[in-house]
Structure 1
Amino acid sequence: MAPRLLVYTRTTDYRHDSIPAAVDALRALGAFDVDHTEDPGRLAAPLDGYAAVVFLSTSGDVLTPAGRARLAGYVESGGGFVGVHAAACTEYGWPYYGDLLGARFERHPDLQPGRVLVEDRDHPATRHLPAVWDFTDEWYDFRDSPRDRVRVLLSADESSYDGGGMGADHPLAWCHTRGGGRVFYTALGHTDEAYADPGFRAHLRGGIGWAAGLADD
């Protein structure tokens, strides 16, 4: 039996049109059984049967107080957590969530092509990628760099696109541990086309597998 993921896509702020394509892509990976929900009550229920919880382009406040407590307890006791793209635009009023994810979204320039720099090739989410990866996305800026708190896997080459606001230290994907759990986040994933990209799908599969404890680095 494949490990189970709880994929959560509730939005109370901006909603990405790519959410259906993203959920389909996770199902198509073939590595996981995917339960998809937008019901906040599901996050307040026991999560022990899941290898990882994935916040997939969530936005705004998406959890009840009971859901916050349940998610924190799940991760601290060894559960995996994954954030994709707008997961960084979520739960601004809950300090624990910002620490869990690693950084909070600040702004982004227009959608455009650019270059991703692979900083760490020794991780399941990145070992398949070239050293420089051409991609099209929104190139999220964060309120601050999480580099001193996480293991940075990918960063943005701001010279390759217009409007970058973080300068030379611009992480895009990272991982870290929280209590007994593992956390993986990628800022990429704005468009439908991203979820059809084999390199990005492998990036997701590797990151989720690591967070779920199915792969080591």
Structure 2
Amino acid sequence: MTRRLLILFFCLATLLPGIALAQGQFKVLVVAIPNRYHHDYAVVAKPQFERMAQRHGFDLTWSWNSTPFDGDLSPYAAIVLLNTPGDELKGAQRTNFEAYVRKGGGVVAVHRALIFNPPGEWPWFERLIGRTFRIHPMVQTATVRVEDAAFPAAFGLPANWVWTDEWYEFNAPVTRGLRTVLSVDERTYDPTRIWPGQTANGMGEHHPVAWYHAYDGGRVFVTALGHTPALYDEPLYLEHLYGGLWWTATGKGIDTPR
């Protein structure tokens, strides 16, 4: 009798994998659309996000294209735009995304997602990000400073963090209420080191590289870090990403107005 019960159990487990796998604390959609300067990063990032989902107990959907925005986004507590800018979304996909945020959906925007081309074509998305991209110098090592140690994306980071990345520069904020989590110390790298024919001068003393805010009914976490594929193997960076994702999906870890 016991053997029969065991056989029945294993048969049910085989027939009903969805029940076994769909028990996470929340659902996350990661959209990683390859583009000219960001394509091989996803080979490293995808298995790391899968491990992250297993470690932290959430359900993960990974997409290489924008087709999820044609359907129902409501099951997702957060959508991660992983090096995927808003200009990848067209027509009704943009309307669907706006509706998702207005109903309380969370958004994590990583690195290339902060750049929208052409500028000004979708003002709602630029306000979602909070700042518009200006230029960046060559990849260099610099010191990242924690500006808000009480935000989950900074919980696992040292107060001063040596990091190598592409240091985006931004124009003045287009959205009020942005809360800076991390900044880069421009004294620790050369903001003018750029390709011939281009000019970059840095942003000065206050150069944010990660921030968060409440926007149009939803929660948004933005990080400019994450250019090269090797960075997605770094435990501290993955803690940074998950901390921001956790807050974006749940609102937990900090008291913040909605």
Bigger share in helix: 2
Out of 138-147 and 25-34, give the one that drifted further: 138-147
Task: Please list, as runs of the form range in 1=range in 2, the aligned pairs for 1:160-175 lying within 5 A after superposition.
Answer: 160-163=188-191, 165-175=202-212
Distance 1:60 1:179 in 2: 16
- 1:73 is aligned to 2:78: no
If you compute each CA radius of gyration, which structure gives the higher value, 1 or 2? 2
Equivalent residue number for residue 197 of structure 2: none
Q: Which residue does 2:38 correspond to in 1? A: 15
Q: Give the deviation of 1:15 after TM superposition.
A: 2.8
Q: Which residue of 2 aligns with 1:204?
A: 241
**Do residues 26 (structure 1) and 54 (structure 2) align?**
no
CA 1:20–1:104 in 2, change beyond 3 Å: closer, same or farther?
farther
- CA distance in 2: counterparts of 1:110 and 1:39, whole angstroms: 28
Counterparts in 2 of 1:182 and 1:60: CA distance versus 1, 3 Å: closer
- Give the number of equivalent residue pairs: 217
Report the TM-score, using the length of structure 2 for normalisation.
0.79
Matched letter for residue 115 of structure 1: T
Deviation of 1:196 after TM superposition, in Å, equals: 1.1
User: How far has the Cα of 1:160 moved from its partner?
Assistant: 0.5
The answer to whether the aligner puts 1:63 opposite 2:89 as a matched pair is yes
How far the C-alpha of 1:133 sits from its partner, in A, is: 0.7
> Which segment is superposed worse, 69-78 or 147-156?
147-156
Distance 1:154 1:120 in 2: 7
> 1: CA distance between counterparts of 2:144 and 2:102?
31
Match of 1:83 in 2: 109
Identify which of 187, 207, 213 aligns with 2:250: 213
Report SS of the residue matched to 2:222: strand
What is the identity, as a one-letter code, of the residue corresponding to 2:205? A
Moved more, 164-173 or 110-119: 164-173
- 1:56 CA displacement: 0.3
CA contact (8 A) 1:115 1:135 kept: yes
**Alpha-carbon distance between aligned partners in 2 of 1:90 and 1:146, rounded to the nearest angstrom:** 13
Post-superposition Cα deviations, 1:123-158, rounded to whole Å, max 9, x if no partner, equal 111022111111010111112246853111000100
Tell me how far 1:63 sits from its aligned partner.
0.5
TM-score by length of 1: 0.93
Question: Unmatched 5+ residue regions in structure 1?
Answer: none
| Residue 101 in structure 1 maps to residue 120 in structure 2 | no
1:22 counterpart letter in structure 2: A
Q: Which residue of 2 aligns with 1:121?
A: 149
Q: Is the 8 A contact 1:27 1:33 kept in 2?
A: no
Identity of aligned residues (%): 40
The alignment's C-alpha RMSD in Å is 1.8
User: In structure 1, what is the equivalent of residue 213 of structure 2?
Assistant: 176
* TM-aligned CA deviation for residue 110 of structure 1: 0.9
Give 5+ residue unaligned stretches, structure 2. 1-22, 192-200
| Structure ranking higher in strand proportion | 1
User: Which of the numbers 75, 86, 109 marks the counterpart of 1:49?
Assistant: 75
Partner of 2:164: 136
